Structure 1
Amino acid sequence: MLPTTLSPVPLAPELSLYLVTEPVGLFDLTGGEFHSDRPPPFWAFAWAGGQALARFLLDHPSEVSGRRVLDVATGSGVAAIAAAHAGASAVACSDIDPAAVEAAHRNASANGLSLVGHLDDPEVLLAGDVFYSPVVAPKMVARLRAARKRGAEVLVGDPGRGFFPERLFDLVTEYVVPVPRTLEDTETLTTGIWRMRSSSN
């Protein structure tokens, strides 16, 4: 596990996460290399999309209160933790990186909350910052559309990543999210909360 510090989430200071606090970028933590068999530590940062989802859920708890929630590509788990804080009946998270799922559970515990290990038939899907590559985006679209067709609500936090399929979503609100300059080459990103349309095509 990388050296991390329990720190308040910039846009949602009600929550704290174990994050890398040194001024480093994502690939600085992997020796400057990308290994397809070993995902970079996305979980060590509070990405803009996850922060925006967290803020939205904390401000609008009725979106998840009493409902079963799944946070896909959870990263640090910030959106999942916000859902639990907002009163979801059960919250699970998933990620291709087992270290991210571990980090999400550890972060939940640090906030006095817990996530479940598995969740059948979630009523709400959350996805923050998932449309960042041409390889990942279509897989994520397929997963989210399948959930929407089963009747689940789908909420996405996206800061204008290049592969976001805007035509499938309606904009709910926007936040100006503080982000590390070493990560994004800027200090803030305007990030939308998007709801997937029921008749996506």
Structure 2
Amino acid sequence: MLPTTLSPVPLAPELSLYLVTQPVGLFDLTGGEFRSDQPPPFWAFAWAGGQALARFLLDHPHEVTGRRVLDVATGSGVAAIAAAHAGAAAVACTDIDPAAVEAAHRNAGANGLSLAGEVDLPQVVLAGDVFYSPAVAPRMVAQLRGFRDAGATVLVGDPGRGFFPERLFDLVTEYVVPVPAALEDTETLVTGIWRMRSSRN
């Protein structure tokens, strides 16, 4: 594990995460290169999409209270932890990087919460900052459509990454999210919360 510090989430200070607090970018932590056999440590940062989802769920707990929730591409787990804080019946998280799932469970514990290993038939699916590349976007669309078609509400936090398929979603609200300048080349990102439209739309 990288050296991290338990720190309040900028947009959701009710929650704290173990985060990298040095002024570094994502690939500064991997020697400046991307290795396909080892995902970069996305989990070490509170990305704008996850922060926005967390704020939305904390402010609108009825979206998840008493419901089974799955957070896909969880990263630090911030959205999953917010769902648990908001009273979800059970919350699980997935990520292609096992270190992210481990970090999410560790972060949940730091907030006095716990995440499930898995949930059957999730009723709400969360996805923060997942449309960041042309290779990932279509796979994510297919995955989220599958959950939606199985009856789940799909909520996405996206800060305008460029590969977000806006035509498939309705904008719910927006937040101005504080982000590390070393990570994003800016200090804030306007980030939307989007609800996936039904297949009939």
Same fold (TM over 0.5): yes
Once the 2 structures are TM-superposed, how far is the Cα of residue 34 of structure 1 from its aligned partner? 0.2
Give CA deviations for 1:117-158 in whole Å, capped at 9, x if unaligned.
Answer: 111100000000000001110000000001101110000000
Q: After the TM superposition, which parts of structure 1 deviate over 3 Å for at least 4 consecutive aligned residues?
A: none
- Percent identity over the alignment? 87
Once the 2 structures are TM-superposed, how far is the Cα of residue 187 of structure 1 from its aligned partner? 0.1
2:59 matches 1:59: yes
Secondary structure at 1:52's aligned position in 2? helix
Distance in 1 between residues matched to 2:119 and 2:66, nearest whole Å: 14
- Number of equivalenced pairs: 201
- Inter-CA distance 200–110: structure 2 relative to 1 (3 Å threshold): farther
Distance in 1 between residues matched to 2:75 and 2:112, nearest whole Å: 19
> 8 Å contact 1:68–1:91 — kept in the other structure?
yes
- Inter-CA distance 43–200: structure 2 relative to 1 (3 Å threshold): farther
Q: Which residue of 2 aligns with 1:186?
A: 186
Mapping 1:1-201, distance limit 5 Å: 1-199=1-199
Secondary structure at 1:160's aligned position in 2? coil
TM-score when normalising by structure 1: 0.99
Once the 2 structures are TM-superposed, how far is the Cα of residue 200 of structure 1 from its aligned partner? 6.2
Q: Residue type matched to 1:195 in 2?
A: R
> 8 Å contact 1:168–1:200 — kept in the other structure?
no
> 8 Å contact 1:43–1:75 — kept in the other structure?
yes
Distance in 2 between residues matched to 1:15 and 1:200, nearest whole Å: 37
Give CA deviations for 1:53-98 in whole Å, capped at 9, x if unaligned.
Answer: 0000000000000000000000000000000000000000000000
Once the 2 structures are TM-superposed, how far is the Cα of residue 111 of structure 1 from its aligned partner? 0.0
> 8 Å contact 1:54–1:78 — kept in the other structure?
yes
Secondary structure at 1:84's aligned position in 2? helix
TM-score when normalising by structure 2: 0.99
Distance in 1 between residues matched to 2:176 and 2:200, nearest whole Å: 27
Unaligned regions of 5+ residues in structure 2, if any? none
> 8 Å contact 1:148–1:196 — kept in the other structure?
yes
Secondary structure at 2:138's aligned position in 1? helix
